[in-house]
């Protein structure tokens, strides 16, 4: 009988050692020098019947170009912050997306753009909101992070500092696109009850639901550091200096090496109210949720019941890619050092 306690102690010791080894292995799951990048170009009423073959090709090619731009940085030993910046720059320079060149108009017929970036290694972050003349808002967000003591700068102050640090400024005419102007006119000509959850075709060209439209990227570099960034023109016909979730760290943008990096897109007010991106990270860290479970919980059980729609991309600490959305589609794609790559627009596959 005296041997029984000793046997139990031995068994418990063996089990604890096994669990410790398993945990250690999980921590080391990411292959050395591996890297990955995942991007999105907005979520919302994205259905195949709304797009011609030519439009599908255009979006696919531009998303792939953005992925390639970020991937090259990572492949050449660059840091994740530079990789997501490169990817987002490509989408900001394209009129296809609601960010930078393709930013939507507010109710006064101007653009008010927001952007944010976060370093998962240091938890340092930078964001700008309500700017009109910064060609690439993500560069200004990076400037705030790297060159100021602040996290979020808005409006004129953000533009003054951006110009001081040599970030390219442009006249408001740079952001003009006929597509976005037609979208504004169409929305302003309708009653509010006719606007919710709709998409319009003008001159055989998709006019996105006014609530959606953002670009974002998350990357992990060869050193295992995660970074996330997001840029948007916000909501078509928005009023009163409205600011969405994108520049609110923890709502639309978040990165933490201990868990994951996230960029969100959708009805920003609901992502702010649920602190969506941070909530996903917290569910992984404190509740033991898998990334897929955490994304589903926040999108479908927290944001959805409030009336919000949208999606999120996620890259975890092991370099695994995840995404989910409760809207009909989301422009998205990823590219990994394993050679695996994918670009999608419509029905959910993850």
Query: What is the per-residue pLDDT across 251-274, written as a single tens digit (0 to 9) for each?
Result: 999 999 999 999 999 999 999 999
Q: Which residue did the predictor score with more confidence, 116 or 192?
A: 116
311 is in an annotated binding site: no
Of the candidates 291, 244, 236, 290, the residue with the CA atom closest to the CA atom of residue 267 = 244
268 is in an annotated binding site: yes
Of the candidates 226, 339, 263, the residue with the CA atom closest to the CA atom of residue 40 = 263
244 is in an annotated binding site: yes
Contacts of 148 by beta carbon, 8 Å cutoff, 6+ apart: 126, 161
Where residue 295 falls (left for φ over 0; alpha for ψ -120 to 50; beta otherwise) is: alpha
Q: Are 240 and 61 in contact, with CB atoms under 8 Å apart?
A: no
Q: Are 325 and 348 in contact, with CB atoms under 8 Å apart?
A: yes
Structure tokens at 102: 């393709």
Q: Is the pLDDT of residue 164 over 60?
A: yes
- Per the residue annotation, which of 122, 214, 253, 259 is the catalytic one? 214
Is 15 buried (19+), middle (13-18) or exposed (0-12) by CB count in 10 A? Answer: exposed
Q: How far is CA 308 from CA 173, 215, 243, 244, 326, in A?
A: 33, 18, 16, 13, 9
Q: Are 64 and 56 in contact, with CB atoms under 8 Å apart?
A: no
Q: Distance between CA 207 and CA 224 in Å, rounded? A: 39
Q: Distance between CA 162 and CA 10 in Å, rounded? A: 64
List pLDDT tens digits, range 66-104.
999 999 999 999 999 999 999 999 999 999 999 999 888
Average the pLDDT over 218-232 and give the result: 98
CATH architecture assigned to 39-344: 4-Layer Sandwich (3.60)
Check residue 23 and give its pLDDT.
40
Structure tokens at 147: 């060159």
Check residue 269 and give its pLDDT.
95
Least confident residue range of 3-7, 146-150, 312-316: 3-7
Q: Distance between CA 36 and CA 80 in Å, rounded? A: 9
Q: Is the pLDDT of residue 58 over 90?
A: yes
39 is in an annotated binding site: no
242 is in an annotated binding site: yes
pTM, two decimals, is 0.86
Say if strands 152-154 and 200-202 run parallel, antiparallel, or are unpaired: unpaired
Tell me the helices (H) and strands (E) count for the chain, helix number first: 10, 14
Structure tokens at 225: 């550091």
Does 52 participate in catalysis according to the annotation?
no
List pLDDT tens digits, range 283-300.
999 999 999 999 999 999
Average the pLDDT over 16-40 and give the result: 66
245 is in an annotated binding site: yes
What's the CA dihedral at 225, 231, 235, 239 to 10 degrees?
110
Backbone dihedral angles phi then psi of residue 37, each to the nearest 5 degrees: -140, 140
Check residue 41 and give its pLDDT.
97
171 is in an annotated binding site: no
Q: Is the pLDDT of residue 186 over 70?
A: yes
Check residue 163 and give its pLDDT.
97
Check residue 348 and give its pLDDT.
57
Q: Which residue did the predictor score with more confidence, 51 or 20?
A: 51
167 is in an annotated binding site: no
Question: What is the residue-averaged pLDDT of the chain?
Answer: 87
Q: Angle 53-75/80-92 helices, nearest 10 degrees?
A: 160
Q: Is the pLDDT of residue 202 over 60?
A: no
């Amino acid at each position: 009988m005296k041997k029984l306690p000793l046997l139990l102690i031995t068994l418990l010791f063996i089990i604890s050692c096994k669990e410790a080894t398993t945990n250690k292995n999980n921590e080391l799951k990411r292959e050395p020098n591996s890297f990955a990048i995942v991007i999105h170009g907005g979520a919302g009423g994205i259905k195949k019947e709304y797009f011609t073959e030519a439009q599908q090709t255009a979006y696919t090619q531009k998303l792939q170009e953005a992925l390639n731009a970020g991937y090259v940085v990572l492949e050449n030993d660059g840091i994740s912050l530079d990789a997501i910046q490169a990817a987002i720059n490509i989408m900001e320079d394209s009129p296809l997306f609601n960010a930078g060149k393709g930013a939507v108009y507010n109710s006064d017929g101007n653009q008010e753009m927001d952007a944010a970036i976060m370093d998962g290694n240091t938890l340092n972050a930078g964001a700008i909101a309500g700017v009109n003349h910064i060609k690439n808002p993500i560069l200004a967000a990076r400037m705030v992070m790297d060159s100021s003591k602040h996290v979020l700068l808005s409006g004129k102050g953000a533009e003054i500092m951006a110009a001081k640090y040599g970030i390219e400024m442009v006249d408001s005419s740079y952001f003009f696109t006929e597509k976005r102007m037609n979208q504004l006119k169409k929305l302003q000509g309708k009653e509010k009850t006719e606007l919710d959850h709709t998409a319009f075709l003008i001159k055989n060209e998709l006019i996105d639901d006014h609530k959606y439209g953002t670009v974002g990227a998350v990357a992990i570099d060869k050193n295992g550091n995660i970074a996330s960034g997001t840029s948007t023109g916000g909501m078509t016909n928005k009023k009163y200096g409205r600011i969405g979730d994108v520049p609110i760290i923890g709502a639309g943008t978040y990165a933490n090496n201990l868990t994951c990096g996230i960029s969100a897109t959708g009805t920003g007010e609901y992502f702010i109210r649920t602190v969506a991106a941070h909530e996903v990270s917290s569910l992984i860290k404190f509740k033991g949720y898998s990334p897929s479970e955490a994304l589903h919980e926040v999108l479908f059980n927290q944001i959805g019941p409030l009336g919000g729609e949208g999606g999120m991309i996620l890259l975890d600490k092991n370099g695994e890619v995840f995404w989910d959305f409760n809207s009909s589609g989301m422009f998205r794609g990823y590219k990994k050092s394993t050679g695996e790559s994918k670009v999608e627009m419509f029905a959910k596959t993850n």
